[in-house]
Amino acid sequence: ASVRLGLLALRDQAPEKVLVHDAVRPFVDAGLIDRTIEAIGERHGALPALPVADTLKRESATGMIDETVSRAGLHAAQTPQGFPFWPLLAAHEKAHHLGKTEFTDDAAIAEWAQIPVKIVPGSPDNVKLTWARDIALADERLSNAQQRFPDIRTGNGYDVHAFEPGDHVTLCGVAIPYERKLSGHSDADVGLHALTDALLATCGAGDIGTHFPPSDPQWKGAASRIFVEHAAKLVRERGGRIANTDITLICEAPRVGPHRVAMTEALSTMLGIAPERISIKATTNEKLGFVGRGEGIAAIATASVVYPGEVPA
């Protein structure tokens, strides 16, 4: 029934061929899929299968062996099973309207509907997980698989802006009332500038000045969320997934704590990640240096991004 509904959902964009795969066969390989697709014809399907190797016994009503069944020509069916789209849909629709529900796979429906099905070599690794023991063996197989080295990259960013006369500062996308503002070509959001550099670093895409040069008048007074969203877009275009970000704001004033929730929500929207993957911290410089003297604000940002593939050997 679920296959029939899937076929109906594909009807408006009908493919030439369709594969039906059993989700409890997680170890199917590309070669088996390719063999099945290549064997599908305009009027016939394809079934991956393995010759039966075990001796087969038919049980009697008393629980005793009634006879030994010849295994000559017998095969154990696997998936994915492949068919020309329209004949398979017609077979499912016919069986549905006749109320026939005894079929255990699509090859059986095809056989009933007189659609020829060609057998192609299956794979002994393409096992079906039916019993609890099957799942335990699958877990063991996966745990013993060759060690992988996922491509997890970390980028760092640092930025600083001096104070100038004004009435608010913008930090991590939030405007905070204050007796001064930060000096910069854009809105001088020191936290977002550092984060932009951190994100760009994970894919070797330069720094914020590479993409938004201060000499370009179009960025005068621009909201720094534009920079962060651009960097996140570049990361995703390369297949990256942002795992987490961490920003430390270094300043004597204004106080950051009361605005942390709003900052986190703003970053969650910019980056498209959950708030628990975002950390925003603040610290003073213990009255030391330009930050300690209240001359400006600095920020350090770290971003971790997971990219497709593995780290090269």
Asked whether residue 193 falls in the same domain as residue 306, the answer is yes
Last residue within a domain, chosen from 143, 167, 183: 143
- Identify residue 216 by its one-letter amino acid code: D
pLDDT score at 188: 94
Residue 90's CATH number: 3.90.550.10
Residue 217's CATH number: 3.30.1330.50
Asked whether residue 102 falls in the same domain as residue 213, the answer is no
Euclidean distance between CA atoms 92 and 51, whole angstroms: 27
> Residue 184 is part of which domain span?
150-310
Asked whether residue 172 falls in the same domain as residue 70, the answer is no
Output 140 or 37, whichever has higher pLDDT: 37
Residue of 271, 290, 72, 296 whose CA lies nearest to 171: 296
**What's the rounded mean pLDDT across residues 238-247?**
97
Asked whether residue 28 falls in the same domain as residue 132, the answer is yes
- Collapse the DSSP code of 257 into the 3-class scheme (helix H, G, I; strand E, B; otherwise coil) and give the result: helix
Euclidean distance between CA atoms 254 and 177, whole angstroms: 8
CB 58 within 8 A of CB 86: no
Asked whether residue 163 falls in the same domain as residue 91, the answer is no
Asked whether residue 291 falls in the same domain as residue 163, the answer is yes
pLDDT at 256 over 70: yes
pLDDT score at 142: 79
pLDDT score at 191: 97
The CA R_g of the chain, rounded to the nearest whole Å, is: 31
Q: Is the peptide bond before 15 cis (omega within 30 degrees of 0)?
A: no
Asked whether residue 226 falls in the same domain as residue 280, the answer is yes
Q: Return the exposure string of 117-147: e unless at least 16 CB atoms fall within 10 Å of the residue's CB, then b.
A: beebebbeebbebeeeeeeeeeeeeeeeeee
pLDDT at 149 over 90: no
pLDDT score at 143: 75
Euclidean distance between CA atoms 158 and 201, whole angstroms: 12
pLDDT score at 147: 66
pLDDT score at 309: 86
User: What are the pLDDT digits (tens) for 109-127?
Assistant: 999 999 999 999 999 999 9
pLDDT score at 169: 95
Asked whether residue 221 falls in the same domain as residue 270, the answer is yes
User: What are the pLDDT digits (tens) for 296-306?
Assistant: 999 999 999 99
> Residue 145 — very low, low, confident or very high, per pLDDT cuts 50/70/90?
low
**What's the rounded mean pLDDT across residues 179-192?**
94
Last residue within a domain, chosen from 92, 114, 143: 143
Handedness of CA 44, 49, 53, 56 (dihedral sign): negative
> Residue 32 — very low, low, confident or very high, per pLDDT cuts 50/70/90?
very high
Asked whether residue 211 falls in the same domain as residue 131, the answer is no
- Identify residue 313 by its one-letter amino acid code: A
Asked whether residue 162 falls in the same domain as residue 94, the answer is no
Asked whether residue 134 falls in the same domain as residue 16, the answer is yes
Euclidean distance between CA atoms 156 and 158, whole angstroms: 7
User: What are the pLDDT digits (tens) for 34-91?
Assistant: 999 999 999 999 999 999 999 999 999 999 999 999 999 999 999 999 999 999 999 9
Global pTM reads 0.57
- 184-188, 196-200, 271-275: the lowest-pLDDT one: 184-188
> Residue 170 — very low, low, confident or very high, per pLDDT cuts 50/70/90?
very high
